Amino acid sequence: MIKVGVFGYGVIGRRVADAVLAQPDMQIVGVVKTKPDYKARIAVSKGLPLYALDNESRRIFEAAGYKMTGESKDLLIESDVIVDASPGKIGIKNRDIYSGLGKKIIYQGGEPADVADASFVAQCNFEQVERKDSVRVVSCNTTGLCRLLSAVDSSFGVDKARVVIARRATDPDEPDKGIVDAVGLDPVSIPSHHGPDVNTVLPNIKIISAAIKIPTTHMHLHTLMITLKDKSTTKDQVIETLNNTTRLVFVSEKEGFKTTGQVFDYGRELNRNRSDLYELIVWKDSINIVDGELYLYCGVGQEAIVIPENIDAIRALIGGYSKDSSIRMTNQTMNILK
Amino acid sequence: MIKVGVFGYGVIGRRVADAVLAQPDMQIVGVVKTKPDYKARIAVSKGLPLYALDNESRRIFEAAGYKMTGESKDLLIESDVIVDASPGKIGIKNRDIYSGLGKKIIYQGGEPADVADASFVAQCNFEQVERKDSVRVVSCNTTGLCRLLSAVDSSFGVDKARVVIARRATDPDEPDKGIVDAVGLDPVSIPSHHGPDVNTVLPNIKIISAAIKIPTTHMHLHTLMITLKDKSTTKDQVIETLNNTTRLVFVSEKEGFKTTGQVFDYGRELNRNRSDLYELIVWKDSINIVDGELYLYCGVGQEAIVIPENIDAIRALIGGYSKDSSIRMTNQTMNILK
Amino acid sequence: MIKVGVFGYGVIGRRVADAVLAQPDMQIVGVVKTKPDYKARIAVSKGLPLYALDNESRRIFEAAGYKMTGESKDLLIESDVIVDASPGKIGIKNRDIYSGLGKKIIYQGGEPADVADASFVAQCNFEQVERKDSVRVVSCNTTGLCRLLSAVDSSFGVDKARVVIARRATDPDEPDKGIVDAVGLDPVSIPSHHGPDVNTVLPNIKIISAAIKIPTTHMHLHTLMITLKDKSTTKDQVIETLNNTTRLVFVSEKEGFKTTGQVFDYGRELNRNRSDLYELIVWKDSINIVDGELYLYCGVGQEAIVIPENIDAIRALIGGYSKDSSIRMTNQTMNILK
Amino acid sequence: MIKVGVFGYGVIGRRVADAVLAQPDMQIVGVVKTKPDYKARIAVSKGLPLYALDNESRRIFEAAGYKMTGESKDLLIESDVIVDASPGKIGIKNRDIYSGLGKKIIYQGGEPADVADASFVAQCNFEQVERKDSVRVVSCNTTGLCRLLSAVDSSFGVDKARVVIARRATDPDEPDKGIVDAVGLDPVSIPSHHGPDVNTVLPNIKIISAAIKIPTTHMHLHTLMITLKDKSTTKDQVIETLNNTTRLVFVSEKEGFKTTGQVFDYGRELNRNRSDLYELIVWKDSINIVDGELYLYCGVGQEAIVIPENIDAIRALIGGYSKDSSIRMTNQTMNILK
């Protein structure tokens, strides 16, 4: 049993903890939580051992009536693998704390690429990161792009990918960080960082990205325009390739999917924790090829798409699993559609 | 086993079907669906027998590759109780179809009050509707108000309740019916229909309501100002009374609930179908009494708060259950917090 | 000619400056601006003298190519009246800078009530503040409530006013401070500060307020429930009284006003600076009386409703104008509907 | 004096009427209005002659207290040029009414391209449509794209333009037609109709477009990726070319433009009717060239960008004006920035 500790219990940490609980070969040591809010209360009700960040944080929890299993330094000792699910740019500050203990560390995509030995998307480079000391699971948008582009590239060759990302402004549990009746240019300059971030996993794909921020909370929406190397590629061939790609599912207008709203609703029908969507969503009827250029729309559930990647990253760092066996195990335990 | 058929598989029908599946004393005969969309596909994957609305609808389903168990007229014959979960104002049109078959019928709150023998909220008038032929489960907003007002009235006497309802514009799966960067007066006239609708269940409570429509999808927000008969009532007494009220839970700012966004997130932590909230949400730290007048904020999850009521309504119409035993059974099977 | 200096050139300062320009008895000395953004550029193009906040700020402006008329300390000397239009809670910090110079100072409603000698709404207490040294123009919501409640109180007697304020989350030029798909309780406790703030102008009116924050940018929406002293009051009498109240206009559903969106559009039809609405908007067809209680909906344009009050406040502090003559002059020059 | 009649007084008709009023060589005969709403009231207050659609509509207006100048058939007779500002797809139904009278007709971009003799953007093809019988002013998005692409193409050669349009869901005066917390694919298929629509004005530019719908009301946001023929083109050359292009203005982050919200606010600073933006807005600091491909963000004010085009179209159909003189006259009278 791989012993996993989770640093942080926000959007990502909560989901990683539940996913670890669902794995037959893993055991959760506990989670580090900073504040005694409702998330802490529910973690306790699920039987998750709570660790305070430090001594001061421990006193705050105890004053609020919590019994703490320990502090973050204790969690570090008990764990084989640490999943750092801190807010962006905090993971890299934690690196010093983690170093020298001989633990495997997983960072999230909000950290700079050089925080870890490699960046990671399971179906793209599982083998390359095996038994490394640390790995960075790339961000939700990058994960989605890597799943799609690696499949398209290996079948038809990507000459150049262009993507415009309409980013949800904030997560549902932090509505105050949002935007109202406006589009943010995020950033104003083009290209955005997403293209280079894809290249941390898929170094050979030429990609240009731009990103805008819009008043929604549930999903990023990607518009993709991909010049293919194989100019004879047909729409049906692309559909077949994507149909055979794991963690990527089709939706279509004729089944009622005209907006991301129906996709969110679809996630709620799947009997999953938090109604989460782990799959990259591709509108099948948006797929088109004109003059050797492939067009399509994708939806990226920003909260959950990286969770199966975190689970596979744990196995990759520990070693002894093939890529396919790890992905299969994760998909089955998390009820991933394909 | 009570045999239940569900007419309609939209926001309410889907949830009623799953709730029936969870009851030890009920069995689902099937659901009537009108279109072969993604909801139909998932219903099949859950093993729910699908009935077409009519012969034409059956042909559309079969052309889309569905095997139908029958048509709505067949479902009627097989069922002891029909839950009509049609869109508003359609239930009353269905009444003719239902009549003369000796079946028990449950309508939803979008229908006019005289569609059925009585209107219903389980904890308010379970006994009064026992063994009637039909009942109308009142709307989400009315259900929430009845839960709260009946508790406050029986403990302290409601002299006059005033409520302003900020309604979510639309459900997440129909975002196109929404409103952007504006408040709708819904209706422009005051009082709105919600007060009289409460009186279909609690005829003796004086209540005035106004309703506005806002650009949200997840929850109605009620601001309540209630003049009490017992002028000596204290805030702590109100908290105690509400604490002892079923299907009503407290949230508070100190646990992180500053907006309805955190309440939505809370629902996702509870490991429920569709992340649903069946409970009326009351902000504990909004409860205040000034000059014999009680103030508080409530949140009403518009999709799910009436689902336990539908289950209890089934038992009430069939008869042979006490109010408490039915509510307890429903609460346990649906994992309702209290 | 009254010489006016404006501290701050944000939402309020910009509008006050233009309103001063429109007055025959006033002259603008200049505006204090902190950053060389597009608002500074347009101010220059209008011929408004720009003053830097301080020496450092002056250097930033000059580096951006601006010629500055001076610094804020210079503006102070040149002005008879200073309108402090700083962001909330900054005005009170500026008080020390203003003191001892013998200038008249006007603060905005985001400051604590004791920042100035009195709080002010022109039609409520113009005479009481005459020739004082300083005055605080109350916030947009309080201004709207005072206009309405003073009229209703003097005609029919307000026994108790209850108001629920649905606040626009942010102004259009700061969309990032907003909220998405959620309602904020702002604050979670009831009553909110708006009632006591009304009492700084109208000390004898009993009023309870609650405030929520919603994802809009254009207008606050008030739902009012007012118990009247004169129980024989009719709806028509209320309409007549409000019809005779200055800076308050009716809209109605039959003319197309079903949401605040149409009110915003209406403002754009009036050929005004920035499409601003200076009037309190009352839905005529929401006005109703049941059991001696008056109901109605109001809209408060958060950016502009206080601008005529600032102009009248200037005259009140200088002295020599009657209330009616000042209001009439302001209304005419600003094209206020009535 | 060119006598102009305007059919329809909605978003476009209102603006065209005011723009005609501002022209020294035009006179407004009147506007056809269908309902006696607040827009009709304001039209009257501006002195605009009102024509009822037909006899029935006339009776409705008269019952509401309006004095009508006539009916639409009368307006037709009195006018030299009719600007049809009906809702989309209604203009083409009106074509029969207009035919055979020898009047010049201008349609809007919501009509099919073959409604008129040609499609029109002033700076692109003024000369080609001179003295034609009818012309179609293309839609807001197409107008913006034509202004930009014609300038880029004539300077550097457009090899292929790719554009992703994030469309505002609805106009501020119809907030109920909007979308909440979701992105609509509008349409689900790619490419959208915008590319071919550009080709009705600029037939030789290769362009692919995709369009999504988002919860905003104030502006469309275009992300452009343009492969240039002249591979040596520099960023500064593009800036210079666009700087010399009429009806196109730069904004930049360093002046405070981080979102479309600040652009909307900017429009309100310009002392224009309805705070309208007639110019295509280009983020100067988004302009970039990588590998011979030009990137930039544009904003398109959906309500007003086509208004100067309507004015120029009137002159083009009548004849006797050069392109430059017409554009200059329109720009000066409408206070267009450049």
B167 neighbourhood in chain D, CB within 8 Å? none
Decide if D188 touches B, using CB distance below 8 A.
Answer: no
Asked whether residue B57 is domain-assigned, the answer is yes
Q: Please choose, from the candidates C277, C300, C111, C312, the residue with its C-alpha nearest in 3D space to the C-alpha of residue C200.
A: C111
Q: Mutate which of A185, A213, A281 to test chain D, going by most D C-beta atoms within 10 A?
A: A185
pLDDT value at residue B168:
98
Mapped to the 3 state alphabet, what secondary structure does chain A carry?
CEEEEEECCCHHHHHHHHHHHCCCCEEEEEEEECCCCHHHHHHHHCCCCEEECCHHHHHHHHHCCCCCCEEHHHHHHHCCEEEECCCCCCHHHHHHHHCCCCCEEEECCCCCHHHCCCEECHHHHCHHHCCCCEEEECCHHHHHHHHHHHHHHHHHCEEEEEEEEEEECCCCCCHHHECCCCCEECCCCCCCCHHHHHHCCCCCCCEEEEEEEECCCCCEEEEEEEEECCCCCCHHHHHHHHHCCCCEEEECHHHCCCEHHHHHHHHHCCCCHHHCCCCEEEEHHHCEEECCEEEEEEEECCCCCCHHHHHHHHHHHHCCCCHHHHHHHHHHHCCCCC
Q: Please choose, from the candidates D275, D310, D270, the residue with its C-alpha nearest in 3D space to the C-alpha of residue D26.
A: D310
Give the number of residues written for chain D: 338
Find the mean pLDDT for residues A42-46.
Answer: 94
* Percent with pLDDT over 90 in chain B: 99
Span A201-234, pLDDT tens digits = 999 999 999 999 999 999 999 999 999 999 999 9
- pLDDT band at B245; cut points 50, 70, 90: very high
**A187 and A152 in a common domain:** yes
- pLDDT band at D184; cut points 50, 70, 90: very high
At C133, phi and psi to the nearest 5? Answer: -80, -35
- Separation CA D156–CA D226 (nearest Å): 11
Q: Say if the Cβ atoms of A216 and C175 lie within 8 Å.
A: no
How far CA D9 is from CA of A113, D87, D91, D333, in Å, comes to 56, 10, 13, 21
Min CA distance, D320 vs chain C (Å)?
Answer: 32
**A161 and A147 in a common domain:** yes
**D119 and D239 in a common domain:** no
DSSP for B12-69 reads HHHHHHHHHHT-TTEEEEEEEESS-SHHHHHHHHTTPPEEESSHHHHHHHHHTTPPP-
C180 neighbourhood in chain A, CB within 8 Å? 169-170, 175, 178-180, 215-217
Q: Is C140 a catalytic residue?
A: yes
Find tokens 């692409």 and name the residue.
Answer: D149
Question: In degrees to the nearest 10, what's the CA dihedral of B238, B241, B247, B252?
Answer: 40
Mean pLDDT of chain C: 97
B182 neighbourhood in chain C, CB within 8 Å? 216, 218, 259-261, 264
Find the mean pLDDT for residues D162-176.
Answer: 97
- Separation CA D17–CA D21 (nearest Å): 6
Nearest by CB: A181 against C181, C182, C217: C217
Min CA distance, C10 vs chain A (Å)?
Answer: 19
Span D257-291, pLDDT tens digits = 999 999 999 999 999 999 999 999 999 999 999 99
- Separation CA C205–CA C203 (nearest Å): 6
**B251 and B294 in a common domain:** yes
Extended beta strands in B66-168, E state: 70-71, 81-84, 104-107, 119-120, 134-137, 158-168
**D148 and D117 in a common domain:** no
A37 neighbourhood in chain B, CB within 8 Å? 255-256
Asked whether residue B106 is domain-assigned, the answer is yes
Min CA distance, A48 vs chain C (Å)?
Answer: 29
Which residues of D are catalytic, by number? 140
Span A113-168, pLDDT tens digits = 999 999 999 999 999 999 999 999 999 999 999 999 999 999 999 999 999 999 99
Find tokens 């998330």 and name the residue.
Answer: A39
Size of interface A-C (CB pairs under 8 A): 47
Min CA distance, B92 vs chain D (Å)?
Answer: 27
Asked whether residue A177 is domain-assigned, the answer is yes
Span B293-334, pLDDT tens digits = 999 999 999 999 999 999 999 999 999 999 999 999 999 999
Q: pTM of the predicted model, to two decimals? A: 0.97
Find the mean pLDDT for residues D234-250.
Answer: 98
How far CA C174 is from CA of A10, A230, B180, C11, D262, in Å, comes to 27, 47, 17, 10, 7
Find tokens 């299969």 and name the residue.
Answer: A328
How far CA D107 is from CA of B3, B148, C25, D49, in Å, comes to 61, 57, 49, 21
**B51 and B26 in a common domain:** yes
Span A67-103, pLDDT tens digits = 999 999 999 999 999 999 999 999 999 999 999 899 9
- Separation CA D73–CA C113 (nearest Å): 62
Min CA distance, B244 vs chain A (Å)?
Answer: 20
A184 neighbourhood in chain C, CB within 8 Å? 175-176
* Percent with pLDDT over 90 in chain D: 99
Q: Please choose, from the candidates B115, B233, B220, B210, the residue with its C-alpha nearest in 3D space to the C-alpha of residue B168.
A: B220
Asked whether residue A338 is domain-assigned, the answer is no
The CA-CA-CA angle for residues D330, D335, D338, to 5°, reads: 80
Q: Say if the Cβ atoms of B38 and A255 lie within 8 Å.
A: yes
pLDDT value at residue D115:
97
Find the mean pLDDT for residues C324-334.
Answer: 98
Asked whether A170 and D267 are in contact (CB, 8 A), the reply is no
- Separation CA C22–CA C13 (nearest Å): 14
Q: Say if the Cβ atoms of D180 and B179 lie within 8 Å.
A: yes
Give the number of residues written for chain C: 338
Spell out a b/e string for A103-123, using b for 16 or more CB atoms within 10 Å of the CB, else e.
bbbbbbbbbebebbebbbbbb
- Separation CA D52–CA D61 (nearest Å): 8
Asked whether residue B338 is domain-assigned, the answer is no
**A162 and A146 in a common domain:** yes
How far CA B19 is from CA of B335, C75, D266, in Å, comes to 11, 70, 53
Q: Most distant CA pair in chain D: distance in Å? A: 68
pLDDT value at residue D297:
98
Find tokens 């004095």 and name the residue.
Answer: D67
- pLDDT band at A257; cut points 50, 70, 90: very high
- Separation CA C16–CA B332 (nearest Å): 61
Q: Mutate which of B33, B46, B168, B173 to test chain A, going by most A C-beta atoms within 10 A?
A: B173
How far CA A238 is from CA of A10, A150, D4, D173, in Å, comes to 37, 12, 54, 43
Catalytic annotation, pick one of A124, A140, A146, A298:
A140
Spell out a b/e string for C241-270, using b for 16 or more CB atoms within 10 Å of the CB, else e.
bbeebbbbbbbbbebbbbbbbbbbbbbbbb
Min CA distance, C185 vs chain A (Å)?
Answer: 11
**C285 and C247 in a common domain:** yes
Q: Please choose, from the candidates C29, C95, C106, C99, the residue with its C-alpha nearest in 3D space to the C-alpha of residue C314.
A: C106
Mapping DSSP to helix (H, G, I), strand (E, B) and coil, where does residue D260 land?
helix
Decide if A185 touches D, using CB distance below 8 A.
Answer: yes
At C115, phi and psi to the nearest 5? Answer: -65, -30
Q: What is the CATH number of the domain that holds D225?
A: 3.30.360.10
Mapping DSSP to helix (H, G, I), strand (E, B) and coil, where does residue D267 land?
helix
Q: What is the CATH number of the domain that holds D92?
A: 3.40.50.720
Decide if D187 touches B, using CB distance below 8 A.
Answer: no
pLDDT value at residue D336:
97
**C224 and C78 in a common domain:** no
pLDDT value at residue D263:
98
- Separation CA C90–CA C278 (nearest Å): 24
* Percent with pLDDT over 70 in chain D: 100
pLDDT value at residue A204:
97
Span D282-320, pLDDT tens digits = 999 999 999 999 999 999 999 999 999 999 999 999 999
Min CA distance, A176 vs chain C (Å)?
Answer: 4
Q: Chains with 3 or more CB pairs closer than 8 angstroms to A?
A: B, C, D
Span B182-224, pLDDT tens digits = 999 999 999 999 999 999 999 999 999 999 999 999 999 999 9
Decide if C96 touches A, using CB distance below 8 A.
Answer: no
Asked whether residue C338 is domain-assigned, the answer is no
Asked whether B293 and C207 are in contact (CB, 8 A), the reply is no
Q: Mutate which of D209, D212, D293 to test chain A, going by most A C-beta atoms within 10 A?
A: D212
Nearest by CB: D178 against B172, B178, B216: B178
Decide if A172 touches C, using CB distance below 8 A.
Answer: yes
Q: Please choose, from the candidates A293, A166, A234, A285, the residue with its C-alpha nearest in 3D space to the C-alpha of residue D189.
A: A285
Decide if A274 touches B, using CB distance below 8 A.
Answer: yes
- Which pair of structure tokens corresponds to residue D327? 């554009």
Asked whether A229 and A205 are in contact (CB, 8 A), the reply is no
pLDDT value at residue C184:
98
pLDDT value at residue D316:
98
Asked whether residue B181 is domain-assigned, the answer is yes
B296 beta partners: B224
- Which pair of structure tokens corresponds to residue C235? 């709806």
Domain span holding position B231: 140-300
Mapping DSSP to helix (H, G, I), strand (E, B) and coil, where does residue B120 land?
strand
- Separation CA C128–CA C147 (nearest Å): 16
At A273, phi and psi to the nearest 5? Answer: -50, 130
Asked whether residue B110 is domain-assigned, the answer is yes
- Separation CA A103–CA C78 (nearest Å): 69
Number of domains making up chain D: 2
**B120 and B29 in a common domain:** yes
Find the mean pLDDT for residues D92-107.
Answer: 95
**A181 and A132 in a common domain:** no
- pLDDT band at B39; cut points 50, 70, 90: very high
**B191 and B64 in a common domain:** no
- Which pair of structure tokens corresponds to residue C11? 């939402």
Decide if A159 touches D, using CB distance below 8 A.
Answer: no
Mapping DSSP to helix (H, G, I), strand (E, B) and coil, where does residue D214 land?
strand
Mapping DSSP to helix (H, G, I), strand (E, B) and coil, where does residue D207 land?
strand
Instruction: State in Å, rounded, how far the first CA of chain D is from the last one.
Output: 26
Decide if B214 touches A, using CB distance below 8 A.
Answer: no
Nearest by CB: B175 against A173, A175, A259: A259
Q: Say if the Cβ atoms of B275 and A256 lie within 8 Å.
A: no
- Which pair of structure tokens corresponds to residue C106? 């006007």
Q: Give A 9-68 residues with CB within 8 A of chain D.
A: none
Give the number of residues written for chain B: 338
- Separation CA C287–CA C294 (nearest Å): 7
Spell out a b/e string for C145-181, using b for 16 or more CB atoms within 10 Å of the CB, else e.
bbbbbbbbbebbebbbbbbbbbbbbbbbbbbbebbbb
Mapping DSSP to helix (H, G, I), strand (E, B) and coil, where does residue D194 land?
helix
- Separation CA A168–CA A301 (nearest Å): 10
D162 neighbourhood in chain A, CB within 8 Å? 162, 225
Span C180-221, pLDDT tens digits = 999 999 999 999 999 999 999 999 999 999 999 999 999 999
- Which pair of structure tokens corresponds to residue A110? 């909000």
C107 beta partners: C136
pLDDT value at residue A114:
97
Decide if B223 touches C, using CB distance below 8 A.
Answer: yes
Q: Say if the Cβ atoms of C219 and B183 lie within 8 Å.
A: yes
Amino acid identity, residue B224?
L
